[in-house]
Amino acid sequence: MANDQGKAEKKSLLEAFKRTVYQVPGHGKRNVDVLKQALDKVSGGLDSDMYGKGQAIEDFEAKMAGVLGKEAAAFFPSGTMAQQIALRIWCDQQETKRVAYHPLCHLEIHEEDGLKELHGIEPLLLASPDRLIRLSDVRSLADKNVACLLLELPQREIGGQLPAFAELEAISSYCRERGIKLHLDGARLFEILPFYEKTAEEICALFDSMYISFYKGLGGVAGAILAGGRDWVDKSRIWKRRHGGDLISLYPYFLSADYYYDLRVGKMGQYYRQAKELAQLYNRCRHVSTLPEVPVSNMFHVHADLPKEQLERLLLEVYRETGVGLTPMVKERSSGGCSFEVSIGDRYAEVPKDKLQLAFRLLNQKLEREDHQAW
């Protein structure tokens, strides 16, 4: 009964969010228009790729290899497939079935143990779940016979936090000295460039291999790139075939990836500044804080020290009274209270400043009212 009520509340908030006039996070609805817009000016006579081969897909792969500063790149239909394959190749090369990554790594919590069940690879979890991997954690790998260390930048599940660039450089140097391969989960790589004030190539130079996504901050339909040395990428193509990733045609994915990359990669600085502006508004509200307090990319988490149902009720009131939607969902936190994720995209600029200010003023008033009523 309680579970049914929770589902109804989640649906209620989501439906109310969809009905708002102005929606703060994201780029917009993920409907078929995302693909139609990307293909609008593509010639209908363009030859399709066939099983991962063809001029169009190969040109796109070469373009992304150049952006990342690597010898070669291969397009994959999903990041889940790409990253499992990346770690499998490093394990085979290093002749050990052990890798290391953060306890809240995507491979550990969102992939139904695919790395373990499909490849027999044993993960070693570094650091505690609530903080980043540090150089001191990496040094503990010295005698662990680890083939590869995976670092996720930013670390999504803890608010999109990032290490200092100097610490990244130190981790990279240590891994190279010890013969540990370093792989980048760069699903949101382009989103962190403004914070580091580095190019994608400069960041990727610290890593032996990397994956990037085209549907998160870039807002494409789907798809990923795996990049590294030429021989290594050639091996990844073999594994892609084994995984069933060579669909007869991938052009809806890589053409839209190319389109939205070109459209949005230059906007990441804007999204970053807007995320910091929005986080300030949240941090002025009673019972609410952001993680990180000052965002380091276009994303952050909002934490509230009150029950999920209570916050949802207040958000519903704000949505009805202002037409401004702040989030489509809220989740309970095991440590108490609740939270939700914010990712800034094209929609934020469309929200009138006076409407946004009104929404936060009302939210804070309602939070203060709850305190008075409880007292």
Q: What share of residues in the chain are helix, strand, coil (percent, to 5)?
A: 50, 15, 35
Mean pLDDT, residues 283-296 taken together: 97
Distant-in-sequence, close-in-space partners of 339: CB < 8 Å, separation ≥ 6: 301, 302, 303, 304, 330, 331, 333
| 77-106 tens-digit pLDDT | 999 999 999 999 999 999 999 999 999 999
Per-residue model confidence (pLDDT) at position 370: 81
Q: 153 with 125: CB under 8 angstroms?
A: no
Band of residue 163 on the pLDDT scale cut at 50, 70, 90: very high
Regarding beta strands 209-213 and 181-186, do their DSSP bridges make them parallel or antiparallel, or are they unpaired? parallel
Q: Considering only CA atoms, which of 1, 2, 6, 4 is closest in space to residue 312?
A: 6
**For the chain, what is the largest distance between any 2 Cα atoms, rounded to a whole number of angstroms?**
70
pLDDT (0 to 100) of residue 7: 54
Residues 145-161, mean pLDDT to the nearest whole number: 98
Neighbours of 32 (CB within 10 A): 9
pLDDT of residue 1: 45
Please tell me whether residue 167 adopts helix, strand or coil conformation: helix
**What pLDDT score does 371 carry?**
76
Written as one letter, the residue type at 319 is Y
pLDDT in tens, 198-247: 999 999 999 999 999 999 999 999 999 999 999 999 999 999 999 999 99
Residue 224, burial from CB neighbour count under 10 angstroms (0-12, 13-18, 19+): buried
Contact by Cβ (8 Å): 180, 223: no
| CB-count exposure of residue 268 (10 Å: 0-12, 13-18, 19+) | buried
Question: Is 270's pLDDT higher than 90?
Answer: yes
Cα radius of gyration rounded to whole Å, the chain:
22
- 11-15, 238-242, 287-291: which has the minimum mean pLDDT? 11-15
Q: Decide if pLDDT at 160 tops 60.
A: yes
Measure the CA angle with vertex 347, ends 16 and 359; round to 5°.
55
Judge contact between 24 and 325, C-beta under 8 A: yes
For the whole model, what pTM was predicted?
Answer: 0.94
pLDDT at residue 375 is higher than 90: no
- pLDDT over 90 at 3, yes or no: no
Rounded average pLDDT over 8-19: 83
The single-letter code of the amino acid at 17 is: F
**Cα separation of 365 and 360, whole Å?**
8
Mean pLDDT of the chain: 95
Neighbour tally for 269: CB within 10 Å: 13
Residue 143, Cβ density class (10 Å: 0-12 exposed, 13-18 middle, ≥19 buried): exposed
Answer positive or negative: Cα dihedral of 223, 162, 280, 332. positive
CA distances 121 to 97, 116, 147, 240, 350, Å, are 5, 5, 10, 18, 46
CB 250 within 8 A of CB 101: no
Report the chain's terminal Cα–Cα distance, integer Å: 30
Q: State pLDDT tens for residues 242-265.
A: 999 999 999 999 999 999 999 999
Question: Does 311 have pLDDT greater than 70?
Answer: yes
pLDDT at residue 176, rounded to an integer: 98
Q: Distances in Å between the alpha carbon of 311 and those of 158, 244, 327, 343, 366?
A: 20, 43, 11, 19, 10
Report pLDDT for 97: 98
